[in-house]
């Protein structure tokens, strides 16, 4: 009989421990693992839990079904557009997610089984090593909704691919194929979809059979400078994203998404009539 403690239970996340490997699965497959408030709250907790889990040494983050994560849930985005004052609370959750990922000493491996978009891309890129199926795409189209990519994108993309490329992809919001993402160094490995599990498993086995403390402390050392950069950029980014959440362009971006059309940005509001 195993003497391991049972894993913590969540509503929108599924945790499975296999030996010393802990797998965290975003579990809203029917909505491509889009992040609503409940999932955001659970993501703000789960990496701290995983870091403190005495029965695991390596952590995998993945998505259920055909997507890794489509980013923000449309209904949730619509609600926030109507109530931008909610942003302050969610900004604190975003910081908890990012820094709990970077603070975790255990190797955190991304199994990018499908598209990783917006916050989904940030979750993937904050992992230590990323394996993506060749059918997947990754991108951060905050600008398509009239928002600043402030919840981590502007912090992590330049560290992976440099400022020039990061500016191009964050200012356009374009999605990259996994093959292109590997080519430019945004992700580590693009592999055939049918080989994804085997590739992730082989790498995790290597981590599990390695010198645990040396591996962990090497990650800690590398993350020292990364955390300093991310902390500086994330606070400013969230502030700018909060400002953009109050903008007419954001409201237009959400309306266009609802109406399934291309947004028309830069429209000036009608002047108010009055005496």
21 to 47, 90, 113, 206, 223: CA distances (angstroms): 14, 30, 18, 12, 22
**In angstroms, rounded to a whole number, what is the distance separating the alpha carbons of residues 144 and 12?**
26
Alpha carbon distance 139, 137 (integer Å): 7
Looking at domain 13-259, its CATH class is alpha beta
The predicted pLDDT at position 275 comes to: 42
Domain boundaries defined on the chain: 13-259
Distances (CA, A) of 117 to 67, 140, 160: 9, 6, 16
pLDDT computed for residue 123 by the predictor: 98
Token pair for 255: 């309306």
Question: If DSSP codes are grouped into helix, strand and coil, which group holds residue 79?
Answer: helix
The tens-digit pLDDT sequence of the chain (275 residues) is: 467 899 999 999 999 999 999 999 999 999 999 999 999 999 999 999 999 999 999 999 999 999 999 998 878 877 776 777 778 898 899 999 999 999 999 999 999 999 999 999 999 999 999 999 999 999 999 999 999 999 899 999 999 999 999 999 999 999 999 999 999 999 999 999 999 999 999 999 999 999 999 999 999 999 999 999 999 999 999 999 999 988 999 999 989 988 989 999 987 655 555 44
- pLDDT given at position 1: 45
Pure H helices in the chain: 37-52, 74-82, 87-103, 119-125, 153-161, 163-172, 178-183, 196-208, 212-244, 248-259
SS (H, E, C) 178-219: HHHHHHCCCCCEEECHHHHHHHHHHHHHHHHCCCHHHHHHHH
CA–CA separation, 153 vs 122, rounded Å? 6
- Cβ neighbours of residue 269 under 8 Å, at least 6 residues apart? 248
Measured between alpha carbons, how far is 183 from 241 in angstroms, rounded to an integer?
A: 29
């Amino acid at each position: 009989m195993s003497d391991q403690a049972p894993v913590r239970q969540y509503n929108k996340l599924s945790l499975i421990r296999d030996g010393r490997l802990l797998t965290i699965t975003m579990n809203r497959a029917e909505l491509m693992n889009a992040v609503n408030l409940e999932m955001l709250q659970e993501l703000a907790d789960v990496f701290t839990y995983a870091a403190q889990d005495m029965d695991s040494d390596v952590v995998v983050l993945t998505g259920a079904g055909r997507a890794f994560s489509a980013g923000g849930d449309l209904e949730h985005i619509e609600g926030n557009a109507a109530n931008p004052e909610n942003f302050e609370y969610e900004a604190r959750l975003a910081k908890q997610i990012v820094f709990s990922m970077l603070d975790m000493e255990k190797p955190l491996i991304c199994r990018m089984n499908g598209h990783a978009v917006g916050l989904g891309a940030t979750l993937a890129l904050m992992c230590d090593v990323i394996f993506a199926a060749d059918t997947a795409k990754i991108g951060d189209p905050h600008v398509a909704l009239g928002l600043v990519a402030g919840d981590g994108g502007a912090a992590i993309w330049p560290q992976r691919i440099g400022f020039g490329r990061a500016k191009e992809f964050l200012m356009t919001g374009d999605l990259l194929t996994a093959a292109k993402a590997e080519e430019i160094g945004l992700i580590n490995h693009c592999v055939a979809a049918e080989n994804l599990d085997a590739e992730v498993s082989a790498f995790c086995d290597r981590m599990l059979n390695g010198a645990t403390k040396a591996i962990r402390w090497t990650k800690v050392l590398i993350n020292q400078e990364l955390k300093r950069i991310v902390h500086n950029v994330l606070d400013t980014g969230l502030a700018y994203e909060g400002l953009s959440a109050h903008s007419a362009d954001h409201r237009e971006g959400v309306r266009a998404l609802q109406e399934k059309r291309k947004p028309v940005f830069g429209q000036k509001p009608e002047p108010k009539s009055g005496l």
